[in-house]
Amino acid sequence: MIALRRLLMSDKEQRPVGSEGAISTGSTLLNLACTDRPDVGFRKSGYYFLVGDSMSGKTFLTLTCFAEACRNPEFDNYRLIYDDVEGGALMDVKRYFGSAVAKRLEPPSKVKGQAVHSDTVESFYYNIWNALEGDRPVLYVLDSQDALTSDASESKFGAKKKASEEGKESTGSYGDGKAKYHSEHLRLVLSKIRKTGSILIIIGQTRDNLGFGFNPKTRSGGRALRFYANFELWSSVLGPIERLVRKRKRHVGNKILIEVKKNRATGKVGKDRGAIINILNSVGIDDVGSCVDYLVREKHWKKVNGVINAKDINLAAKRSAIIAHIEQRRLEKTLSQTVAKVWKEIEEESNPPRKARYA
């Protein structure tokens, strides 16, 4: 009955109060890792860089940000622009992210009614510049910068192809010039992002680091992508989430680690501040399940023989029953506040007993 009543509530009734000029990432744990706030993720006037392995939830996370923007009254006037360079977001947007996102989501441009996405680094900057020149602020997601080519790269390819066909030896490299272009143009775009209160999220792909060094993974695009970012987040797959169905284990999602490698909000980075998030094939980011797992992992809720003592909601039951109880009774905020309390306690206990030098 409670679930039915919630479904019948209007969109406006379900929407939370705006969170100080910011959208949630859709994950309580990731919000805490970024801002020390359970409800605050990406603030207005900022640029955020999300790098990750294949299948590590990058697209789901950014589309979830659109859903959070639709729930937040502060973003009612924002254009939601999804620059799907890869053409990889083929999921049912309405099902996973809501009817408001399906209605408001738009491509960077249209030609004769058809969506046109960026294909070169040059066209991306033209598209976002045009969007920022409009009379409304934007939440713009580029998915991904790795899929962009460049005018210089296309020109070099054409010249090499022609030389090969004529039996001539070609010279030069296949460098695409994207790093230099980002370096020269990203700062110009960020000036307009700050003036308009817009948000830019750029997705990048990890690559195997075949050179020397201690990092097994790297990414393309140059230093500017990191230098100008408010956050640089790296996602990776920790392992599958499985359910036993008809006596066989079924892969129903992935457990994802998102590490904060650059943080202008709090300055706090490192693997220990990483957020472990469940992404389910059926619902996307499972915030409730991720929070329950966190409280068990940190021993705040004790688990014995499969039964979790969820003392903050006065229930001792198996994980699935606890999640159902929280969702049916709309205890998500209580859960989020509990996670934030435990997160803060762990941070305070981890700090060396030192006096602040300039306090």
User: For position 14, what pLDDT does the model report?
Assistant: 44
Model-level pTM?
A: 0.88
| Tens-level pLDDT at each residue, the chain (359 residues) | 344 344 334 444 444 444 679 999 999 999 999 999 999 999 999 999 999 998 899 999 999 999 999 999 999 999 999 999 988 677 899 999 999 999 999 999 999 989 999 999 999 999 999 999 999 999 999 998 999 998 665 555 454 454 445 555 555 555 568 999 999 999 999 999 999 999 999 999 998 776 655 677 888 899 999 999 999 999 999 999 999 999 999 999 999 999 999 999 999 998 778 899 999 999 999 999 999 999 999 999 999 999 999 999 999 999 999 999 999 999 999 999 999 999 999 999 998 988 888 87
Q: What is the largest CA-CA distance in the chain?
A: 78
User: For position 90, what pLDDT does the model report?
Assistant: 74
Beta bridge pairs of residue 217:
208
User: For position 208, what pLDDT does the model report?
Assistant: 76
Give 155-223 as a DSSP string. Answer: HHHHHHHHHHHTTPPP-S-----HHHHHHHHHHHHHHHHHHHT-EEEEEEEEEE--SSSS-SEEESS-T
User: For position 9, what pLDDT does the model report?
Assistant: 41
CATH, domain range 9-163+176-282: 3.40.50.300
User: For position 31, what pLDDT does the model report?
Assistant: 97
Is there a cis peptide before residue 144, judged by omega within 30 degrees of 0? Answer: yes
Neighbours of 192 (CB within 10 A): 16
Domain ranges (residues) in the chain: 9-163+176-282, 287-350
User: For position 6, what pLDDT does the model report?
Assistant: 41
Residues with Cβ within 8 Å of 70's Cβ and at least 6 positions away in sequence, in order, are 80, 98, 100, 101, 104
